[in-house]
Amino acid sequence: MMGSPQYICARLAAPRRPTELQLQFQGGFAGGDCWLEAGDAPDQLRRLHAFYPENVNRLQTFPVDCPEPVTHVKVVFNTSTDFFGRVVVYKFDLLADEPPKTAADDPAT
């Protein structure tokens, strides 16, 4: 897909609180003027955090301040370093807190 904006959507298997976003681009095809949206459903996403990647091919990390667990995230690449608006992502990792343990998770009970 060409043109801006580009985006990546993900649905998490369980509610989690994202803490860090890791991205690796192909140099020359990096996103610019980016932000992370999160919420409990695709139609309930809210903008959480803006970030500005460098136009390099090394792994870049961005802290995420998400106040509560969510099940859906969307990373928006509003602009691109490529003339045609293309973004090439080699690696996409969203790190998150572990969910709280419940009594059902404890085999001793």
CATH superfamily of 6-97: Galactose-binding domain-like (2.60.120.260)
- Residue 104 has φ and ψ, to the nearest 5°, of -70, -20
Yes or no: say if 30 and 78 are a contact pair by the CB < 8 Å rule. no
Q: What is the pLDDT of residue 89?
A: 96
Q: What is the pLDDT of residues 46-96, one digit of tens each?
A: 999 899 999 999 999 999 999 999 999 999 999 999 999 899 999 999 999
pLDDT at 11 over 90: yes
**What integer is the mean pLDDT of 30-57?**
95
The total of other beta-carbon atoms located within 10 Å of residue 83's CB is 7
pLDDT of residue 98: 79
- Domain residue spans of the chain: 6-97
- Please answer whether residues 28 and 55 qualify as being in contact, where contact means their C-beta atoms are separated by less than 8 angstroms: yes
pTM of the predicted structure, to 2 decimals: 0.85
